[in-house]
Structure 1
């Protein structure tokens, strides 16, 4: 208990800053009341002296280093200040030079801007003239091919012109668009009329359209079917008409079905199938329009049966002769489906 009280007293005296009391308490703690413990005083004094010397050395070291560090920091700050002043002077000089240069170059910039505007205007005119020249060149090529009866090449060039027409739709040059469309329309009509006429002649040789069932057609079609040149011409003309598909869609307004059907928009019937459907369309309108006895509103089964019969009569020919041509030509079109779709359009038109 006495030792605890003594320790508390030493700590309290130390905290209060009473140095003599602290020393007295420290000696009391280390030596105590035992006289034999006085032998420790020499060692204690030696230890305290050594601690004192170490503390003095540390104080001297710190006292000598801190001014050096402060002096070094002040020197660095002074150098930084000088560099900053130099940079500010350079910035001021550079700013003045730039302003002077801009003032000197301002008239040149205005003249250069005007020249650039003129160059851009000339480039637009040049591009416009190039388009005109290209259209005229393509038109001349079509004319030359037609004069030499090279219809396939003429049809290919017309297809290319139709693609150019589509690309030009984004242009604001209305006169150029009108000129392109008029040129495409002119040659499209000539080629379409010629190819349609030739195609109809080939179909007539095949006794198209087939009014009777396939079994009854065999005898009548046996001889022309054995002539390979007829089907070769059929394939050639069919493919040439396909080349006019793009220009035909470009020039022909798509047929709009009445809104009451709620049917999605469908692509146009391909051009050669349109030609093949023409005689059947005439027959349908003749029998099921106007004041004909076959046009009875209470007998829809009459025209529906007729359409189904036509589809059945032509299915074999479409599958065996037309579908291979389409597969070879590239477009993913089903001949029988396209033919049936064209006939169903007649039914929808009548119901409208």
Structure 2
């Protein structure tokens, strides 16, 4: 068809004259290449060779022949054209009619195709529920696949499903009917004669039926759960029937009161023993059939069947007294509930050991300790009691801590009373039974693992501790030093003595608070709980108190002029005059003493706790070694540094106060001599400026001895005295306003005695008294050297001859040999000075020629 169309298009194209001329020319050039071919007369060269005609083929037409040939062709073509033109209208009409027929048929076929497609869609929508009808979206609003009628295929599938369900329900009902009939037969009282144990064969049939269904049916079927529930319920009711019989027999013995079994009638004893034994036989059968729980969890209340029954009356009595409206149900007295359970165990211990233990052994449970079993079955009573009460105590840390403490005491009492979890029925034959008793966490362990109770308790204790610390620090008498000495405190200074350690009220209360918290959590069974209390509550509490005391020292150091470096000129005086009186003198010293005794009290407590057996064991468990440092050691080091800082500041304050009072006195001249009346100027009386310094010194040292422990007082006094000795020696002896005469030296001797007497008076309140002389020995030796007489007559013109060495002898010995030096030091009391020092001191005499 495509070729015909192409041919028609080619014939319909207009004639290309140029192309035709080119074709004619090409034809002529090919047909008549030379004149001979055009005329038909062979040339002379064409005759050469005999094979010329053969080589060129048959003779060609001449020009005239060729013209005639093509004329004839033209005539034939014109005739065919005329014939075609004559036939063309009819052919065109026929072709048009045929084409119209084809188009009509094609249109009809297209419409049929669409109709067929619609029919197929309709059939599919009728056969498949997932294919909506084409016209589902037309019509009234809301029409759609959901509103159309059910398809035939859906109807057929639904009926097949209903039939399958009916068949499954019939099979299900038949299985349930069989199981329920077996249950009714098992529980029928007619089959419980003479005892409910007589129904065990019927129960075995029920159990076998359930096992058969478990092997036949898929594991996830609900029918299996239903028939298992029927089986378990039947076992529970069969056990309850035996339990009621045992409970009736026990009530005849006046259970749960103390039982005098020897006085019980023989008939009642036989009934009780038979009921007790039958329940054990029932449990043996249950274990054989796999009905007894295989998981070992003592908190569930599972155990020997007869003992479970015997604990029921005890539980009822417990609920009546401690979970109702009785006066015995008090949140602050959980120990009453624990005591009730302890009494129940104690009262029945003899009955259990003498009678129940042999009965249990005869039934095949000889490995079970009946007393431990009975005790274990009473634990769930207390667990339910605690789980009900503790959520109400979470906002009351003190009551919660008391409840946990009493729980731990109960656990310890049960262990001491011989409770062994490894010898109960749950752990009988267990591979881990040997270590079960040691691993028993007790009621406290279970309660502390419940939800986040321990964390809430810990948070409550932390909040309580922080609130208590704030109240302690904010109290008006928080920094009042107690007059009473705590005999339990330990002294940890350089001199270990038996004297007591004073403390501020806040330090004592913080120490008591830490010990109170320790008492609350020390009985906890697990290390993780004790460590959490130590790290979360106690260590931050002690650190917070340390920060408070350390901050007070920072503030004192910032505001007090005694700790500001002196600036030349009047600035230092202006600063001193503007200083708060509470930061200077005895008032300022008392502030530092309060910080010191606070730190010292906590330091003594920390060291005592470090040596306490409870914290020693806990530190060893935390570190995994017996030689581990205590958990308190790091904090104790911080408090030791804090105490040392307070001592340093006391030394600096006292030294600064006394130095300020000595400033005017140290400008005096020491080159005094004998007066006109013959008296020694050195005996003219104490300088008023010195009196002021002595008074200030005595008052400050007296404050030390009054409030500080004896070792701390001795340390601070010696450091202050040493500092003053160095200050006086540098400012007066070695760099004074003048050199010394012998009279000036004697005046210095008298001043040293005045310092000693002032210190002795201030330290006289300590027991035993602290010696005031040793720190002043170097200055006394310098004064003695400066007071050496110029001649053997005493140097005062009295004519009295003395055995004391003269200044000249001291000069000779100081620059002489070692033996002479030692001799002069022994005679003049200059043992505190070496040769170099003695030479420097002697150079300060006006008579020195070296």
Compute the TM-score of the two structures, normalised by the length of structure 1.
0.47
TM-score normalised by L of structure 2:
0.22
Normalized per residue, the structure richer in helix is 1
Structure exhibiting the larger radius of gyration computed from Cα positions = 2
Q: Which has the higher contact order (CA 8 A, sep 6+)?
A: 1
